[in-house]
Structure 1
């Protein structure tokens, strides 16, 4: 059996840090409203660059088939998402007269994966999907916003990256190598 729907692409997962505590310490309606607003702002900033495979709780599984990923474009998008997220938290905190203790982490991975449909749902399948979810489980949960880039994404986009630009990335960039964290900038 041959699947012709296999392509190389980027997996992007923005995920909220502090979500479990938030759910347990926030009234149901208020929490639902806040999460909906925060997820919506991330989707809006994406501006249809990535497709959405799933939204689960506090995370969005974005993907894009791309043989030439751009570190500069992706890092710029993450910066915009983070800034919009922080501004929305500030706006909601003032509007609802509450403190919202959530931050945003990003997982960026690259590899070969496929897609299949079940009813009206579009599901992704492949090793990079599992690896991206594994990258979410790391020891940086208490950190402020950060981006975790896989080695495969950095290697694929490296030829297009000027190292000086890369070092200017404002919030915690971490290169991730084979389930071990090697560098924290």
Structure 2
């Protein structure tokens, strides 16, 4: 793809982990309430005023073209998404404890957030905005990775390479606790990234 004809883009993709298992093993009416509440609340938690490219069942494809948001703002966005997820789950513990204990109390659902930077083309198909390009494909593939924890932030090397001051990244994302990971994808080869389990991110609340 000729990057001169494309737009720089920031992706922030919250994705529910355990979604398929939850949907197939939970009372359908309760599952629908939970997933609907989670997706609506996470979309409303969009403090970076990103666009929504699409919603794919368990994932919200936020994107923002132009200048890359500051590291602190991205970290705060991740914090707000994670807190929103926890608040929704807690609301079911309070308001529907029987189903909560049966279907949610053992952390059946989690959330991951994919952070990526790349380039896209934007087109319209039957009046709907559609994102095209290699990075759109890659960020979809990154939703399927080998990270074993249920709640985490994944930061691609494409994104991290755009950050000039690594100390800023350390302050906001607890750099010393970030772990390295990699996965191999068809047509892309080995893709490297860093990630951090979200329960370890409590400290960056002090940076709000």
Q: Displacement of 1:168 after TM fit?
A: 2.5
Figure out how many residues of one structure are paired with residues of the other and give that number: 182
Q: Larger deviation: 149-158 or 51-60?
A: 149-158
Displacement over 6 Å in runs of 4+: 2-5
Assess if the C-alpha contact under 8 Å between 1:68 and 1:157 holds in 2.
Answer: no
Q: Displacement of 1:167 after TM fit?
A: 4.8
* TM-score w.r.t. length of structure 1: 0.85
Confirm whether residue 179 of structure 1 aligns to residue 171 of structure 2: no
Cα deviation, 1:57-93, whole Å, max 9, x if unaligned, reads 0101110003333222111100111011111111123
Tell me how large the CA RMSD over aligned residues is: 2.7
Q: What is the 5 A alignment of 1:12-161?
A: 12-47=12-47, 49-97=49-97, 98=100, 99-100=103-104, 101-140=108-147, 142-159=148-165
Q: Displacement of 1:4 after TM fit?
A: 8.9
Give ranges in structure 2 of 5+ residues lacking alignment: 183-188, 197-208
Q: Larger deviation: 77-86 or 174-183?
A: 174-183
Q: Displacement of 1:153 after TM fit?
A: 0.8
Q: Distance in 1 between matches of 2:58 and 2:93?
A: 18
Q: What is aligned with 2:202? A: none
Give ranges in structure 1 of 5+ residues lacking alignment: none
